[in-house]
Amino acid sequence: MMSRRTALVAVTLAATLGALPACSSSSSSGSSGGSSDSAPKTITIAYQKFGAFTQMDSHMTKVKAEYEAAHPGMTVKLNPIQADENDYYTKLNLMNRTASTAPDVLYEDTFLVNSDIDAGYLAPLDDYAGKWADWSQFTESAQGAGKGADGKLYGIPMGTDTRALYYNKEIFAKAGLPTDWQPKSWDDILVAARAIKAKVPDVLPFNIYSGKGAGEGSTMQGLEMLLYGTQNTLYDEAAKKWVTASPGLTDSFGFLKTVFDEGLAPKPQDALDPQWGTKLSTSLIPGGKVGIALDGSWQTGTWKDSGAKPWPEYSKVLGVAAMPTQHGEAPGATSMSGGWLLSVGAKSKNKDAAWDFVSLALNQENTKSYDIAASQISERKDVSSDPAYLESDPFTKTFTDLVQYTHFRPAYSKYPRISDALQSTMETVMTDKAPVDQALTQFQNTAKGIVGPDGSTTA
């Protein structure tokens, strides 16, 4: 099955490529220390700017000014790509296809590292990072976040995240639910959502992302938050095979079917809208229209003074509860973590200058300011111990504590297509086009086509 990312490239190439900014950067494979006299004097930075997520644009504008002040004669051309998650990947893919449009620095999702290495889009950074004094401040897991299957480093992390259940204490009180809520199982979530629907009928009981509208958010914040709480996984590391059928997959899709069938989740047409996440964070949640939302630690950045929807009361109105395992199995809670990197494009003609920008953007002060503004869990030790960071958000400790329960996506080159297939399966179930068993049979067949006859297994 062709992934949405690949399909959109084929459809939109002619219309989009001509509108992309030209990049006249040059290449230098030497160590960091500035660009040579013969290298181009302009570097292009590509990143996402969409919906409520404005902190990245502010950060890049700040770093551009600092970089140009420190490098007279150099120009930084910012290319904020205004697109939802799936379309951002597609447009970035388009840019990377030719040297004339490929960015020098790109904002890269960790789960795409291996597929983008295979596509020839990313440059290895080991020589640069090995000479960068700041690299020792990154945690061991952070240093591995941008590594490819070949063992080389392809990106520097901007921060990480965890996921949990936000809940509205005022709605809970109206529904007769405890305002210090901590569910012990999936059934506890259903009990709370049903109580909200019965007693506070004008609000959405429970938001869980599902289907292609939210893209990777549906897979990671929706399905995998369920699956990894069942003791099953999506990839068998020992066997080096994708798990295409398991009790955990069946139960996870069964839970989705329950919340959509009972009207506890959004209407399918709302959940499938690419703008749904923005509407939730900027309108529905601050407006007191959502009882429970399974979402990420970064959401509080939307409600800070610097965010898209300042909401000073968020930490008083909302509580945060760990996502429980299916039946309360040890360790009792689960989460997923990912994160984004700054990478250097393989087609950049001035890699020294591109690296200098990356290292400036992710030094101690700039990392701290970005992680505070964007509600990121810092992966620099000198930032995570800084009082200004620790006191920047009332929920920082809660989300940081979830790291001990967290899981990571199988970031292999086949994953984006597996994720796309899972999103399609979610749509089939949530729209009641087929029962769970039939939908999962179709997923299994699609997955086998992606990974080959010997690349999958069952649990």
Averaged pLDDT for residues 234-240: 95
pLDDT-based confidence at 451, cuts 50/70/90? very high
Is 333 in the same domain as 343?
A: no
400 domain-assigned: no
Helix (H) or strand (E) run with residue 224 in it: helix 224-227
The 10s digit of each residue's pLDDT in 345-383 is 999 999 999 999 999 999 999 999 999 999 999 999 999
Is 332 in the same domain as 240?
A: yes
**Which of 8, 31, 20 is CA-nearest to residue 354?**
31
Predicted confidence at residue 51, as pLDDT, reads 72
Phi-psi region of 328 (alpha: psi -120 to 50; beta: other; left: phi over 0): left
Average pLDDT across the chain, whole number: 91
Task: Report the share of the chain in percent with pLDDT over 90.
Answer: 88
Averaged pLDDT for residues 170-176: 98
CB atoms within 10 A of CB 46: 27
Number of structural domains found in the chain: 2
Is 191 in the same domain as 263?
A: yes
Per-residue DSSP letter, 160? B
| Tokens matching residue 107 | 């904002």
417 Cβ partners below 8 Å, 6+ apart? 1, 3, 450
Last residue of a domain, one of 379, 404, 429: 379
Is 103 in the same domain as 170?
A: no
Residue 27 predicted with pLDDT over 80: no
The mean-pLDDT minimum among 22-26, 59-63, 115-119, 201-205 falls in 22-26
Predicted confidence at residue 37, as pLDDT, reads 66
279 domain-assigned: yes
Averaged pLDDT for residues 92-100: 95
Residue 218 predicted with pLDDT over 60: yes
31 domain-assigned: yes
Predicted confidence at residue 6, as pLDDT, reads 39
Averaged pLDDT for residues 269-280: 96
Per-residue DSSP letter, 289? -
Q: What is the CATH number of the domain that holds 29?
A: 3.40.190.10
Averaged pLDDT for residues 74-96: 93
Give the pTM.
0.86
Q: Which residue has the tokens 């989705």?
A: 256
Last residue of a domain, one of 379, 399, 432: 379
Is 119 in the same domain as 216?
A: no
Averaged pLDDT for residues 330-346: 97
Averaged pLDDT for residues 230-247: 96
Residue 255 predicted with pLDDT over 70: yes
Predicted confidence at residue 112, as pLDDT, reads 93
Is 370 in the same domain as 295?
A: no
- Please state, in angstroms and rounded to a whole number, the distance separating the CA atoms of residues 253 and 265: 14
Is 246 in the same domain as 364?
A: no
For residue 282, the enclosing domain spans 163-337+412-458
Residue 32 predicted with pLDDT over 70: no
Is 55 in the same domain as 19?
A: yes
Predicted confidence at residue 36, as pLDDT, reads 57
96 domain-assigned: yes
Predicted confidence at residue 329, as pLDDT, reads 97
Question: Are 87 and 3 in contact, with CB atoms under 8 Å apart?
Answer: no
Is 110 in the same domain as 251?
A: no
Averaged pLDDT for residues 328-343: 96
The mean-pLDDT minimum among 9-13, 75-79, 411-415, 428-432 falls in 9-13
Is 313 in the same domain as 427?
A: yes
pLDDT-based confidence at 11, cuts 50/70/90? very low
| Tokens matching residue 243 | 């798990």
Residue 30 predicted with pLDDT over 60: no
The 10s digit of each residue's pLDDT in 408-446 is 999 899 999 999 999 999 999 999 999 999 999 999 999
The 10s digit of each residue's pLDDT in 101-116 is 999 999 999 999 999 9
Predicted confidence at residue 330, as pLDDT, reads 97
Burial (0-12, 13-18, 19+ Cβ within 10 Å), 403: middle
Predicted confidence at residue 268, as pLDDT, reads 97
Helix (H) or strand (E) run with residue 45 in it: strand 42-48
Is 234 in the same domain as 353?
A: no
Is 265 in the same domain as 363?
A: no
Predicted confidence at residue 453, as pLDDT, reads 85
The reply to whether omega before 331 is within 30° of 0 (cis) is yes
390 domain-assigned: no
Q: In what order do the strands lie in the sheet with 456-458?
A: 235-236, 241-245, 456-458
265 domain-assigned: yes
396 domain-assigned: no
| Tokens matching residue 231 | 């003791």
386 domain-assigned: no
